[in-house]
Amino acid sequence: MRIIFIGDIFGKIGRRAVAEVLPRWRKKYKPDFVIGNGENLAHGVGMTEKTVRELLDAGVDCVTGGNHSFKAEGAKLMARGDLPLVRPANFPPGLPGRGDMVVESKDGKIRLLVVNLMGRVFFQSQYDDPFRKLDEILARYHNSPPPPLNLRGGELNGILVDFHCEATSEANALGNYADGRVSAVLGTHTSMGTTDTRILPSGTAYVTEVGGVQAVDSILGEEKNGIIRSFLLQQPFKHTPVETGLCQISAVLVEINETTKLAKSIKRIDEQIVIE
């Protein structure tokens, strides 16, 4: 099984870049699934039905979230339950949406469990423990004991975790905690891709941060001067996404072994294109 995972897709420029590159990537890499993080789809904060539909029409199979999952129309979309959306599973109980879901290939022969988790370090909100929440989710799908990755009844062909976190230490800790129990742990949120794509000792594909889909001439997708001014004056900045120009598309390609359900390989497939 092959999976393309696209990092934090930021605003209009990110959506347009994904729509442009994905048909070519599908032809080149022949993925069984394309997963994308969409917590900042709508003008750089949250998601709307229109922006989610743009990704689905472009060929994304499942959209993951993060700390902005409920902004814009996100809460309403999560509550509906008819779109392939997941938000962090360790949000407090009682919130709409789901933190894990199984996506299927068109022929129904390949099934991937997608899990979304939030880190806790450096966030103001008090999220539940992502480590124990992962244990809770995996208990529903695992035969015991792994490894090798032993999925209940052969129902799944792999498990992918989007870990939306700030601290590199927390990402590394969760990756190693999950090693051998999931197919891949892929970090999102900081939008600056890291170079540590690797297979962990027990067979889980890992990268601390996939990176974002955003304007290169920006600061995390935002107009630069406003961000710099906010650091100089310690005042809030005006939210001004950069919507045209050279766009960075950060993504990884993960290949999963059919027998072990663990990773065979992971590599970055980053690209830059100009969006007018």
Q: Is 68 a catalytic residue?
A: yes
Rounded to 5 degrees, φ, ψ at 7 are: -70, -175
Beta-carbon neighbour count of residue 25 at 10 Å?
20
User: Which amino acid does the sequence have at 257?
Assistant: N
Q: Are 208 and 174 in contact (CB under 8 A)?
A: no
Residue-by-residue DSSP string for 105-136 = -TTS--EEEEEEEE--TT-SS-PPPHHHHHHH
Task: Point out which residues pair with 34 in neighbouring strands.
Answer: 4
Which residue is catalytic, options 43, 68, 164, 189?
68
Rounded to whole angstroms, how far apart are CA atoms 225 and 202?
45
Rounded to whole angstroms, how far apart are CA atoms 180 and 212?
27
Q: Per DSSP, which regions of 73-188 are E strands?
A: 100-104, 111-118, 158-164, 184-188
- Start-to-end Cα distance in the chain: 35
Active site residues: 68
